[in-house]
Chain A
Amino acid sequence: NAGVTQTPKFRILKIGQSMTLQCAQDMNHNYMYWYRQDPGMGLKLIYYSVGAGITDKGEVPNGYNVSRSTTEDFPLRLELAAPSQTSVYFCASSPRVAGISTDTQYFGPGTRLTVL
């Protein structure tokens, strides 16, 4: 298993540009998450999904959109990039089963995004 993969690893955007951060997992996990990590800080949840076709906002969703058309993929879209979105973005997945709390989250390697 490749686990959780993210592309690209690095990206520089100009203000106002758009891009999609890709995330895929091959562990058949139903739950997937997007976080951002700012320097010296912990991770903050942007969006999450409990299964294909179901997404919900996290703590810091403004400026982002997500979709979940398949179990494997959970892309994150930035529509109008702003300097405040400069951060490291992590995707994660977990094998949750409803009603059973045996959860751990598995993280991808991250995407380092700079908006200039």
Chain B
Amino acid sequence: GIQVEQSPPDLILQEGANSTLRCNFSDSVNNLQWFHQNPWGQLINLFYIPSGTKQNGRLSATTVATERYSLLYISSSQTTDSGVYFCAVERRSGGSNYKLTFGKGTLLTVNP
């Protein structure tokens, strides 16, 4: 099946710093999503971005589908950004295949 690798596995920042999280995937994809899991375990969808660039406030994401990677940018980080960031992809081939494959995540800690 498709492989998803996220880097770095852990990241510690001071409040106000910027960061870039990376997601590499092993095959072409129809669907790519970024999620944030907060320290209480809740999963929130950040972006649906199989290609191109999107921005939402201090967060933005870019997927270069032809080169099989996606980047999540966090600017002016805040302590509330702490948590685990997951990349998940879906490769749909032939018939239906509605299955997201998750990476292991990047654990982000933002210190005040």
* Chain A residues close to B by CB (< 8 Å): 31, 33, 40-45, 48, 50, 58-59, 88, 90, 92, 96, 101-107, 109-110
Which residues of chain A have C-beta atoms less than 8 A from B43's C-beta? Answer: 90, 92, 107, 110
Check B48 against A104 for contact (C-beta < 8 Å): yes
Whether B41 lies near A45 (C-beta < 8 A) is no
Give Cα A105 to B48, complex, Å.
9
Q: Which residues of A contact B103 (CB under 8 A)?
A: 42
B104 at the interface (CB under 8 A from A): yes
Whether the Cβ atoms of A48 and B45 lie closer than 8 Å is no
Give the segment of B12-20, B64-72, B75-83, B92-100 that binds chain A.
Answer: B92-100
With a CB–CB cut-off of 8 A, which chain B residues contact A101? 30-31, 50
Q: Are B102 and A43 in contact (CB under 8 A)?
A: yes
- List A contacts of B50 (CB < 8 A): 101
- Per the bound structure, the CA–CA distance linking A58 and B43 in Å amounts to 19
> What class of interface size applies to chain B in its complex with A?
20 to 34
Alpha-carbon distance A43/B102, docked complex (angstroms)? 6
B33 cross-chain contacts in A, Cβ below 8 A: 104-105
Query: Is B25 interfacial (CB 8 A cutoff)?
Result: no
Q: Nearest residue in A to B46 (C-beta to C-beta)?
A: A104
- On whether the beta carbons of B42 and A107 are closer than 8 Å, the reply is yes
Which chain B residue shows the least CB distance to A44? B102
Q: B96 to A106, Cβ gap below 8 A? A: no
Add 11 more A-B contacts to A42-B105, A103-B31, A104-B45 (CB < 8 A).
A31-B98, A41-B104, A43-B86, A45-B99, A101-B30, A103-B48, A104-B33, A105-B100, A107-B42, A107-B43, A107-B44
Q: A42-B86, A42-B104 are in contact. Are A58 and B31 (CB under 8 A)?
A: no
Shortest Cβ distance from residue B4 to the other chain A in the assembled complex, whole angstroms: 8
Given A101-B31, A103-B48, A107-B43, CB of A40 within 8 Å of CB of B104: yes
Our pick among B31, B45, B86, B88 for the contact of A106 (Cβ within 8 Å) is: B45
Distance of A88 Cα from B45 Cα, bound (Å)? 18
